[in-house]
Amino acid sequence: MSAQNARIFVAGHRGLAGSAIVRRLQAAGCANLILRTSAELDLRDQAAVERFFAETRPEIVVLAAAKVGGILANDSYPVDFLRDNLQIQTNVIDGSYRHGARKLLFLGSSCIYPKFAPQPMPESCLLTGPLEPTNEWYAVAKIAGIKLCQAYRRQYGFDAVALMPTNLYGPGDNFDLQTSHVLPALLRKFHEAKARGDREVVVWGTGTPRREFLHVDDLADACWYLLNNYQGYEPVNVGTGQDISIGELAALIGEIVGFQGELRFDTSKPDGTPRKLLDVTRLSSLGWQARIELRAGIAATYSWFTANAR
C-alpha cells in the first residue's frame, strides 16, 4: 500500500524537523496525518502513549519528537536530554510495533558519533570511541534509539529505520539565545546588533570548530525518500557532505543580515566537538542528495525570522 493513503503519525509535528516533514508529506498528497501537540499527548507518559496507539493504530510513524537544544542547553539540563528522550523513543517505538505499524522512521543526530571520529564520519564509526561531553546525554539517548530500532527489527522483523541528520536549520527553528543552536542564535544576534547599531557581535568559542548544516526542507525530502526506498538495519546519515567553520558561518550570516561591524570570539564559552561532518556515501548510493545551498537556505530562514519570530 502506498504511503500516500496510509495513516501516518508524525510525532513532534510542531518542531523544526517535524513541521517540515508534515509539509513534505502534505505536498506528496498524504491526507491521513495523525498529529498531537505535547499538551494533547505527553510522549514521556507510557500509559497515555499506549492509549493513543490503541485508539489510532497508525500504519507509518515518523519519530521527530525529542528534547533538543544547543551546546549550553545540553550541558545544563542533562536529565531532560537523557531521560525525556529515552522515554519518548521507547514509548513511541514500542507502541508503534505493538499496535501494528508497518514502518517507523527514527530521527537521531550526528552527535552520536565519537568526538574524534574520522571525518567525514561514516555510520560504521558508531560506538568506536568516547563522545563529546557537552552533548553526551542527548547522544546516549539517541544511540539507544538506534539500537532499539535494530533490536525490534532483529527480534520482531519490525521495519524501524534510523536516520542521523546533521545540524538542521530553517523556518520554525528555536531562536532563543540561551537554548538554540549556533545558526539561529547568530541570525538573531546579527539582526539585533544591526538594529541597535552595535559595533560588534559576540560569537561563542574560538570560531574554529567546523559544522555541517542541512536545511530542514532537505531533511524532510530525505525522510519522504527513505520512507519509500529504504528498509535497512543500518542507520543512514543525512547531510550535505560539506562543512564550514563557525567563524566562516558568522561572516556569512553577517553578510546576509547586512551587519557592518566586527566579530568578537568569547573563548570562555565551549567549542564542543572540533568537527562534525557526516559521510553521506550510503545516502547518495540510495539515490538522494541535498539541494538547498547554504547561503540561499540561510537567507530564506532570515526572511522567515524577520516575518515570524521576533
Our CB check for ligand GDP shows the closer of 49 and 193 to be: 193
Q: Does 182 bind ligand GDP (CB under 6 A)?
A: yes
Stretch that binds ligand GDP, among 32-40, 92-100, 180-188, 277-285 (CB under 6 A): 180-188
Reduce the DSSP state of residue 163 to 3 states and report it.
Answer: strand
| Residues 203 to 262 in contact with ligand GDP, rule: CB under 6 A | 203-205, 209, 211, 246
DSSP 184-245: HHHHHHHHHHHHHT-SEEEEES-S--EE-EEEHHHHHHHHHHHHHH---SS-EEES-S--EE
* Integer Cα distance of 226 and 154 in angstroms: 20
Residue type, 154: R
Our CB check for ligand GDP shows the closer of 40 and 196 to be: 196
* Integer Cα distance of 259 and 280 in angstroms: 34
Query: Quick one: CA dihedral 29, 31, 33, 35, positive or negative?
Result: positive
| Residue of the chain from 24, 44, 67, 181 that contacts ligand GDP (CB under 6 A) | 181
- Cβ pair 164, 233 in contact under 8 A: no
Our CB check for ligand GDP shows the closer of 265 and 304 to be: 265
| Residues 39 to 98 in contact with ligand GDP, rule: CB under 6 A | 70-71
Stretch that binds ligand GDP, among 100-108, 117-125, 177-185, 192-200 (CB under 6 A): 177-185
CA distances from 173 to 55, 235, 294 (A): 31, 25, 16
138 is known as an active-site residue:
yes
Say how many CA atoms lie within 13 Å of 235 toward its Cβ.
33
Our CB check for ligand GDP shows the closer of 22 and 256 to be: 256
Stretch that binds ligand GDP, among 20-28, 36-44, 78-86, 175-183 (CB under 6 A): 175-183
| Residues 99 to 138 in contact with ligand GDP, rule: CB under 6 A | 111, 135
Our CB check for ligand GDP shows the closer of 58 and 184 to be: 184
Residue 213 CB, shortest distance to ligand GDP, in Å, is 9
Q: Which of 77, 97, 113, 138 is catalytic?
A: 138
| Residues 187 to 206 in contact with ligand GDP, rule: CB under 6 A | 203-205
Stretch that binds ligand GDP, among 27-35, 83-91, 179-187, 236-244 (CB under 6 A): 179-187
Residue type, 121: M
Of the candidates 166, 110, 160, which has an alpha carbon nearest to the alpha carbon of residue 138? 110
| Residue of the chain from 14, 99, 102, 269 that contacts ligand GDP (CB under 6 A) | 269
Residue 137 CB, shortest distance to ligand GDP, in Å, is 12
Q: In 67-212, at which residue ranges do the beta strands (DSSP E only) sit?
A: 103-107, 160-165, 167-169, 200-204, 210-211
Residue 24 neighbours by CB distance under 10 Å: 21
Report the length, in residues, of the chain: 310
The residues annotated with a catalytic role in the active site are: 138
Binding footprint of ligand GDP on the chain (CB under 6 A) = 70-71, 111, 135, 167, 180-182, 185-186, 203-205, 209, 211, 246, 269-272
